[in-house]
Structures are given as C-alpha cells and as structure tokens.
Chains A and B, each alone.
Chain A
Amino acid sequence: MIVTPKILARIVAIAVLGVLLQLSFFSRVTFLHTSPDILPALVVSLALLGGSMTGAVAGFSIGFLVDCLLVEALGASSLVLLGVGYLAGLFRERFEIHSVLVPALLCMGLTLFAELGFAAVQLLLGVDAPLSLLIVRDMLLKSIYAFFLAWPVYLGVRRALRPALVEEPRVRRRSQPTVLGT
C-alpha cells in the first residue's frame, strides 16, 4: 500500500468512524448477552492491506483513541491492538491470501487473541473483583461475531483504500478480439 497524505487522511477517517461506531453502536447492542467488537477486525483489515507496520501503527492509534474517549488508563488497548495489527500484517507479508475465508478467519482468531491479551493486561494490572466463567463465553462469542463482521469491514476498508493498493489494479473490461471475416 502506498500511503500518500490523501490515503493517510482516509485511514484516519476509517479509524475514527470505526471507533465511533464501536462505542455508540456495537458496544451498546447485545446478542446472546454479548456485544460485538469490530475494532480488532478493523485493525486486521488495515494490516492485511497495508502490512505489519501499518497494522501496528493503526492498532496503536485506534487503541489510544478508544482509551482517550472512555477516559481509561492509556496504553492497554493500544498494546493489545498493536499486537493484533502487527500479527495480521506479518501474516500478509509471509503468506499468500488465496481464499476469501482467510480475512474472516484471521479476524476471528485475532479477536480471540485481543480478548485474551486484554484479559492478561487487566489481570496483570490487578482486578479487585472475582471473575465469572461467563468471561470465556463472552470471548468466544466475540470471536464468532468477528468472523461475520469481518466480511463487511474488510470489504469496506479495501474499497475505501483501493487507490493505494499496489497489488490490486483497477479491473478494466477488455474488449473481445474481433476475427476478420465474421
């Protein structure tokens, strides 16, 4: 991905829109007692299109913005999401993405990674209350939701950043060759 100022502005807009959507919509709806989390999927999508460094920087920035808006201790979300972005970008740099299922499966796996990472950070910082086993259910359901949400998120981000994608030139319809005499 070639990051020009224009593309950078688009990435920032995508990140801000994603964070606003998460805090104002996805965090506030529940299905089977669990709210979906699109932020890992958003970071994975940016990383799959831009590589590990784009993913890491996007993850850090998105996490930073979330913590700022929720007035939480800064750094926890940044650390977890930068890990998610870096791993997704690394995957893109090491392997070819042959199947359309790959982004969705990656989003699912890395959402689980993000949930476990966030739990680890919280436990290291200290949790003053007993833990419920329902946390595990919440993590698994969030991962499953991420699988389904990954499709629109990835396609939307890819569409928004299409001008910057080196490997995806605009598809032009080629005219059929004509055969003389027919």
Chain B
Amino acid sequence: MYRKQVRRRRALLALLVLGSFVLLTLTYGQRSDGFQRGVSTIFSPLQTVADRALKPARDLVDWFDQTFEARGENERLQAELERTRTLAVAGQEALQENGQLRKLVELDRGPALASSAYEPVTGRVIARSPTIWHSTVTIDVGSDDGVQVEDPVVSGDGLVGRISSVEGGSAQVMLLTDHASAISAKVVPEGVQGVVKPEVGNPEDLILDFIDSTRKVHRGEIVVTAGWRAQGLASLFPPGLPVGEVTRAPVVEQEASQQVHVRPYADLRDLDLMQVLTGGSRR
C-alpha cells in the first residue's frame, strides 16, 4: 500500500516536471497562443479592478521608498522631498496622473510624431512581471482599441518599449530593459548610430552597442530612435523619439567594445500611464 502511494507520488512529480519541459519546448520563442490569450482576457478585468484598488497602497509604499532613499541625499534633495511629501499627503495621486497625461500630450505634439501617421492610444499599467529576467508590463488597452503587436510605446519622458502580444482588452509591453529588446538608435547631434540593448538587472543602464568606433560619443549627448527605412523595410519606431542620455562613454570602451552607456529618460521601474503609437506609417 505504502509502496503504491510512493510510486503514485513519484509518477505525479515526474509528470509535472515533464509537463513543464514540454510546455517550455512548445511555447518558448512563439507568439502567444489562443489559450494564453483566453486566460489573459478572462483575468484582464480582475487585474484592472485589483490595479485600481491597490493604487493607494502602492503609492504609500512608493512614498516610503522615496523617503528612505532621500535620507542618503544632500540637503537640497531633503527639502525637495519635504515638498513632495506634502504633495503626497494632499492628494499627489491626482496631480501625478495629471502631469503624466500632460507630458503625453506634449509628446504627441512633438516633432517626432507630428509628421508620422501614428495615432496614440493611452493605456494604464495593470500588471508587471515579478522577475527581472522579463521586463514586461500589461496595459489595459488592446486590439479593441487598435493596438497591434510591435506598436511602439512611449511615456511622457520618452520611449518605453514595444507591444509584444495583444488581446482584446489588454496588451503586453516589452520594456527597453527586457533581455530580448533591441532598438536602432542614434546619438544627436553626432549622428552616430547603434543598437540600444539592456543590461539585464540594471534598469538605469542601457547599452548603445555596435557604434562606429572612429566617431566619438560624449557624455550628456542625447540618444533618440533612428527610425530607418531601406529597401521596403522600416524600423518599428518613428525617428526622433527620445530614448535616453549618454552617461558613460569611455574612449577605451568605445574603441574596444564599440559601446557607450545610456540612462533611459523614462523611469522604467515606476510606470503608470503610457501611450501606444498605433497605425504607424510602417503599415
């Protein structure tokens, strides 16, 4: 009896392990299938409700986090934090949301998007991946709102990422910090082109790779999307979207590894509202 029970338990464990490997083999590197989309669609309203309900608690934790970090800063930052704290008590939530929306509107009117056929759709983050290995967030707009896979996503500060999969009422955004992300970009005013890739585990540091080592890039220079178009192919991103600022550009690294370090403009750890640029000229 006991042996039979042990055998049954071992069989179940083996089945689960085998099931995991089979699932991994079948789905790794594939687009989302109907089943996943179905589950995601069912849970999407629940996630939206949970997101709204938990926002005050998130803001409270953020407030503690900011306070804790600010203790190590200088006096000027301390004073700034005090002001922020006062704002938080007085309903910072609404002000912050308003500010984000304003910046998004300003980005709409910016030169990067003015000449393109992109139509921005504003979405709110409702879920985020718990691991640093996948930098993805779920937003509450989907194919019903015109969002499609590979659409660029921006926040008020700059480029955030692109849509990796989409359902009726929600979509997954692959952030710039996801290990699979790669964006063609250029440094202005130098015009040096390269590919922006993340450094996994460090959301404040991107790498502009494959740059021309004969042309020097300097600290403080701005990195924007390149938005190339050649032989019927085009970049997913319109040209001129702000990506970040060059923070480290040692000559040795530029010559040996053809790369410099970039800090993204968008705060990729604290995203709430973002815009999906739908219906781009690439279609």
Contact = CB atoms under 8 A, between A and B. Distances in A.
Interface string B19-30: 111111111111
B129 A24 contact: no
Interface in B192-251: 197-203, 205, 207
A25 B23 CA distance: 27
Given A24-B127, A30-B269, A134-B202, 13 more contacts: A23-B47, A31-B61, A33-B269, A68-B40, A69-B43, A70-B136, A70-B138, A73-B28, A75-B22, A75-B23, A78-B20, A129-B180, A129-B200
A78 B19 contact: yes
Give the size range of B's interface with the partner: 35 or more
Given A33-B269, A60-B20, A68-B39, A131 B200 contact: yes
Interface in B1-33: 9, 12-13, 16-17, 19-30, 32
B131 interface: yes
Contacts, number: 178
A132 interface: yes
B164 A71 contact: yes
Contacts of A60: 16, 19-20
B36 A74 contact: yes
Given A20-B47, A24-B51, A69-B39, A29 B130 contact: no
B132 A82 contact: no
B170 to A, nearest CB: 9
How big is the A interface, by class? 35 or more
B270 interface: yes
Contact of A133 (B51, B126, B165, B201): B201
Contacts of B130: 22-23, 26-27, 35, 37, 39, 66
A52 interface: yes
B17 A29 contact: no
Contact of B27 (A69, A73, A122, A127): A73
Contacts of A24: 47, 50-51, 54, 126-127
B200 A72 contact: no
B24 A76 contact: yes
Interface in A23-74: 23-33, 35, 37, 39, 52-53, 56-57, 60, 63-74
B256 interface: no
A75 B68 contact: no
Contact of A29 (B35, B51, B61, B205): B61
Given A20-B46, A71-B164, A27 B128 contact: yes
B127 A30 contact: no
B102 interface: no
B172 interface: yes
Nearest to A138: B132
A69 B77 CA distance: 39
B201 A134 contact: yes
A91 interface: no
Residue from A30, A37, A64, A65 whose CB has the most chain B CB atoms within 10 Å: A30
Given A69-B40, A129-B197, A130-B200, A30 B21 contact: no
A21 interface: yes
